[in-house]
């Protein structure tokens, strides 16, 4: 299945996850996502998502001037962003578990919901 | 954190510029948010993977917009930019005008004009009322002359409504005049300007209507054919005749010509102060003013007693001593031709006599 389609719903979660420990600038974040396995993530999608999370208050941003080139814009997570990350992580685990159960077939015993969170 | 990097390649700059264009419909703040740092990020990518990663800027902009929560393609927002620019244009014109009237030489006169604004509010209300009264179907002939077309009560009622409305708009209590200057919408501002210009344009129409009605009334009242034209006396080419210089057919000036019109009425010359300025002829002890030329006084005699004094009075000197002889087919030719030889003979004789005198002197 095309990873791009799957990513649409969870790109926010992925972006919040890669900046939760360390601030990063746009392409830096793209690189972290790709190194983490999301090879097909589009950089424009990531930049747009950063902008949207920033507008929602989940990220903060600051510009670091450069002496010989364009400014770099760094993003860092805010308390709101951490809350959102925690909530969406739970949602994701629940969703993934449910889907795992479906994929395993009706014979398999249904695991307890949210047990692994 | 690496803050030093190489200068941005031109293809990256061009790519970012194109993406910015495709975001032109977004608010400036959002656009800045989306593209700030984009050059640095793309420059990094190009440094790692080569210029091929840039791709299609339009697809890129679509992806960027969609991910950021905007419409993927710029929505046509024609109204807002146009409204904004119209507003800016109006602000510009207003600013220019304020500068003009604030000039030291203009400012005092402008303050007078500003003080006269209520007069304009009433005037434009009258213009609107006249236009309304004319446009209302039906025509009432017994209207007020300055509110033609409707009965006086209706006309005054319409005028009252218009004056109240115009004044409320002028005072800023009624749309489109409401809201203080500077915070009005473009439509309201344009409407205020447009209505004022329209009132100016319709003024000549209203004035013409009123003047037409007035003229009709005057004519119906016989204003033009009786009341004051009677007092003008004999007219010649639109001007009053004050005196008449008469010449016979041979062109010789005549004195004591009595003139009557086709109905036997004495010609009546009647300039301003005619009786004081001229000396009439007499029929017994009755003055006759239809006998020409009339003698002219040196000084106007306003009172009857002054008119007894004829000092300085004389017949006027006509503008020419003689005038060319004229003929008429109704006058027999011999009667016309006969005096001419006589005069010729006389002239010859006089000429001869003078020669003789000249000769005798020698």
Question: What residues of chain B lie within 8 A of the CB of A45, using their CB?
Answer: 63-64, 66-67
| Nearest residue of A to residue B47, measured between CA atoms | A27
CA distance A48 to chain B (A): 4
Question: Cα dist. B168→B56, B125, B172, B176, B276 in Å?
Answer: 58, 11, 6, 10, 60
Is the link from the previous residue into B169 a cis peptide, with omega within 30 of 0? no
pLDDT at B67 over 80: yes
d(CA B242, CA A105): 130
Q: Between 1.10.760.10, 1.10.10.10, 1.10.8.10, 3.40.50.2300, what CATH number should domain A3-104 receive?
A: 1.10.10.10
What does the DSSP 8-state code read for residue B9? P
How much is the pLDDT for B3?
43
Average pLDDT for residues B284-303, to the nearest whole number? 86
- Which candidate in B60, B67, B69, B72 is best for mutational testing of the A interface (most A CBs within 10 A)? B67
Question: Cα dist. B265→A80, B54, B262, B285, B331 in Å?
Answer: 114, 111, 7, 20, 26
How much is the pLDDT for B5?
47
Question: What ipTM was predicted for this assembly?
Answer: 0.78
Average pLDDT for residues A48-57, to the nearest whole number? 88
Environment class of residue B133 by beta-carbon count within 10 Å: exposed (0-12), middle (13-18) or buried (19+)? buried
Render pLDDT for A77-93 as a digit per residue (tens, 0 to 9).
Answer: 999 999 999 999 999 99
pLDDT at B276 over 70: yes
Q: A59 - beta bridge partners?
A: A77
Question: What residues of chain B lie within 8 A of the CB of A49, using their CB?
Answer: 67-68
CA distance A42 to chain B (A): 8
Average pLDDT for residues B91-120, to the nearest whole number? 87
Distant-in-sequence, close-in-space partners of A36: CB < 8 Å, separation ≥ 6: A14, A18
Q: B283 - beta bridge partners?
A: B286
d(CA A41, CA A76): 20
CA distance A80 to chain B (A): 18
- Which candidate in A8, A29, A47, A59 is best for mutational testing of the B interface (most B CBs within 10 A)? A47
Please give the structure tokens belonging to residue B96: 């220019």
User: Which among A25, A48, A73 is the nearest to B68, CB-wise?
Assistant: A48
Q: By mean pLDDT, which of A18-27, B144-153, B178-187, B227-236 is the weakest?
A: B178-187
How much is the pLDDT for A116?
47
Are the Cβ atoms of B37 and A71 closer than 8 angstroms? yes
Q: Print burial letters for B140-159: b (CB count within 10 Å at least 16), e (below 16).
A: eeebbebbbbbeeebbeebb
Q: In 3-state terms, what secondary structure has residue B351? A: helix
pLDDT at B32 over 80: yes
d(CA B268, CA B229): 13
CA distance B26 to chain A (A): 13
* Mean pLDDT of the residues in chain B: 79
Q: A77 - beta bridge partners?
A: A59
CB of B123 closer than 8 Å to CB of B198: no
Length of chain B: 362
Q: How confident is the model at residue A109 (pLDDT cuts 50, 70, 90)?
A: low
pLDDT at B315 over 80: yes
Return phi, psi of residue B307, to 5°.
-70, -15
Are the Cβ atoms of B41 and A52 closer than 8 angstroms? no
Q: Where are the domains of chain B?
A: 10-68, 116-223, 232-338
d(CA B203, CA B131): 9
Question: What residues of chain B lie within 8 A of the CB of A42, using their CB?
Answer: 63
**Could you write out the DSSP letters of every residue in B250-285?**
TS-EESSEE-B-TTSPBP----TTHHHHEE-EEETT
pLDDT at B361 over 80: no
Question: What residues of chain A lie within 8 A of the CB of B37, using their CB?
Answer: 25-26, 63, 70-73
Environment class of residue A49 by beta-carbon count within 10 Å: exposed (0-12), middle (13-18) or buried (19+)? buried
Closest by CA position to B25, among listed B100, B75, B96, B85: B75
Q: By mean pLDDT, which of B47-61, B212-226, B262-276 is the weakest?
A: B212-226
pLDDT at B357 over 60: no
């Amino acid at each position: 299945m095309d990873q791009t389609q799957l990513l649409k719903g969870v790109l926010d979660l992925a972006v919040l996850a890669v900046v939760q420990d360390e601030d990063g600038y746009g392409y830096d974040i793209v690189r972290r996502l790709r190194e983490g396995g999301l090879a097909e993530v589009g950089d424009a999608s990531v930049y747009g998502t950063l902008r949207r999370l920033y507008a929602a208050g989940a990220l903060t941003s600051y510009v670091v001037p450069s002496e010989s080139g364009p400014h770099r814009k760094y993003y860092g997570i805010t308390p709101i962003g951490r809350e959102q990350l925690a909530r969406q992580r739970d949602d994701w685990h629940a969703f993934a578990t449910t889907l795992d159960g479906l994929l395993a077939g009706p014979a398999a015993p249904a695991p307890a919901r949210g047990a692994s969170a | 954190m690496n803050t030093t990097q190489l200068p941005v390649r031109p293809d990256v700059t061009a790519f970012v510029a194109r993406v910015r264009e495709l975001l032109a419909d977004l608010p400036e703040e959002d656009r800045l948010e989306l593209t700030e740092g984009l050059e640095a990020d793309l420059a990094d990518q190009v440094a790692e993977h080569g210029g091929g990663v840039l791709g299609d800027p339009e697809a890129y902009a679509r992806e960027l917009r969609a991910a950021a929560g905007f419409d993927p393609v710029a929505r046509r927002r024609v109204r807002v930019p146009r409204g904004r620019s119209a507003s800016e244009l109006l602000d510009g014109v207003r600013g220019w005008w304020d500068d003009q009237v604030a000039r030291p030489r203009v400012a005092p006169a402008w303050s007078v004009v500003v003080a006269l604004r209520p007069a304009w509010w009433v005037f434009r209300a009258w213009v609107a009322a006249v236009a309304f009264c004319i446009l209302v179907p039906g025509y009432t002939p017994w209207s007020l002359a300055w509110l033609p077309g409707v009965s006086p009560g209706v006309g005054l009622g319409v005028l009252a409504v218009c004056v109240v409305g115009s004044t409320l708009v002028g005072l800023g209590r009624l749309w489109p005049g409401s809201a203080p200057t500077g915070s009005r919408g473009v439509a309201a501002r344009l409407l205020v300007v447009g209505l004022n210009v329209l009132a100016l344009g319709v003024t000549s129409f209203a004035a013409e209507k009123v003047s037409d009605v007035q003229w009709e009334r005057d004519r119906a009242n016989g204003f033009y054919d009786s009341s004051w034209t009677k007092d003008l006396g004999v007219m010649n080419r639109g001007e009053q005749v004050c005196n008449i210089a008469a010449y016979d057919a041979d062109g010789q000036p005549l004195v004591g010509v009595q003139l009557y019109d086709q109905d036997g009425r004495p010609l009546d010359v009647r300039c301003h102060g005619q009786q004081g300025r001229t000396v009439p002829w007499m029929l017994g002890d009755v003055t006759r003013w239809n006998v020409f030329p009339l003698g002219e006084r040196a000084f106007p005699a306003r009172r009857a007693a002054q008119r007894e004094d004829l000092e300085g009075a004389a017949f006027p000197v006509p503008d020419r001593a003689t005038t060319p002889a004229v003929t008429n087919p109704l006058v027999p030719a011999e009667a016309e031709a006969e005096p001419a030889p006589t005069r010729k003979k006389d002239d010859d004789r006089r000429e001869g006599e003078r020669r003789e005198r000249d000769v005798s002197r020698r």
